[in-house]
Amino acid sequence: MKLIFSKKCLEYNWQGHIERPERVQVAFDLLKTRYEFLEPQPATEQDLLSVHTQDYVNYIKNAKPGSYLDGDTPAPENIYEYALLSAGGAILASEQNGFSIMRPPGHHAGRNGTAMGVPTLGFCYFNNIAIAVKKLNTPTLILDIDGHHGNGTQEIFQTNPKITFVSLHRHPTYPGTGLRSVGNSLNFPLPYNAGDSLYLETLQHALNLVNMDNIKNIAISAGFDAHQGDLASLSLTPDCYRQIGKLVGELNRPVFAVLEGGYIGEYVGADIHELISGIEEKR
C-alpha cells in the first residue's frame, strides 16, 4: 500500500495544542523507509462542496489567523490551504488504494461544520474521508476505528443508500454521539478498558451485519487514539491493529485509509504499519 504525505502539513502549529506536527512527523520517520510515498495535490473547492455548504467553506476560507473557530479548534495562518491539501490527500488515497497520513483530520466536520448537535469541530476543518468517498461515487463501507465517534461522517452520509458507516468508539467521551445505530450507520460504543478481544469481537459482529454484496470499496477512517494511553484509549495494542487489518483484508475489496486521530507519534507510526500489514496479509 502506498502512503500519501506532504511535509507541507508539518508547517502549521499551535503552541500547546495536542494536534501538533510531531504526531505525523514521528510517524513519517518510522515509515519512510518501508513504503513508497506519493505527494498529494490540494482538493478543489468543488470537491469540498460535494459534502459541505458554501457558507461553511467560506467560514474556513475567511477564518481570522490566530483566532479559534471553537473552543478546541484554532485557525492557524493559511489553515484553508492546509485543509485543502489534507482533503486532496484523501482523494489521492482513494484513487491509489493508499493511506493518507496527512493532517488535519476530518471526521467530526459535518455539512455545515459542526454535526449532530455537537458545537465543536474537534480539530477538524473539512471531512477528508467524506470528500474522497463522495468523489469515488461507488457503494462504500466507511469503517471508522478512531476512538471518537465520526459524527460528521455519519451526518453527511446518513441518508445516502450507497454508503454503510460503521464506527467503533469509546463512550463516554467526546463528542458523545453514536450511542445507537440508525439506518445505514452502525454504531458500537465501547468502554475505555475494552481491550483487544472485545474490540475485535465487536468489529467482527459489525462486519457481519454489512451486506458486502452491495459494497465495492472500503474506506477506513484510521484514527489511532484508541491505542492504550492515547487520548481516547480503548486499551488497544499494536497487534489489535494488525488483526483489524486482517478482518478488513478478508473482505476482498479495494481499501483506502485516511488518518484521523492518534496523538503519540510512535504509536501512530507503528499502528499504521500493523494495520497495513494485516490488510496486505489477507489480500
At 164, give phi and psi (nearest 5°): -115, 125
* DSSP result, 165-210: EEEEEESSSTT---SS-BTTEEEEEE-TT-HHHHHHHHHHHHHHTS
Note the helical H segments in the chain. Answer: 22-31, 45-49, 54-61, 79-96, 128-136, 151-157, 195-208, 238-249, 265-282
Task: Pick the catalytic residue from 52, 108, 149, 227.
Answer: 108
Q: Output the nine-digit C-alpha cell for 149.
A: 465517534
Half-sphere exposure of 200 (CA within 13 A, CB side): 16
Per the annotation, the verdict on 107 as an active-site residue is no
Residues 69 and 108 sit within 8 Å (Cβ to Cβ): no
Residues 5 and 101 sit within 8 Å (Cβ to Cβ): yes
d(CA 3, CA 38): 6
CB atoms near residue 217 (< 10 Å): 17
d(CA 17, CA 13): 8
Q: Report which residue type is found at 159.
A: T
Instruction: Tell me the C-alpha to C-alpha distance, in Å, between residue 211 and each of 10, 143, 244.
Output: 39, 14, 18
Q: Return the SS3 of 79.
A: helix
Longest dimension (CA), the chain: 48
Report the catalytic residues. 108
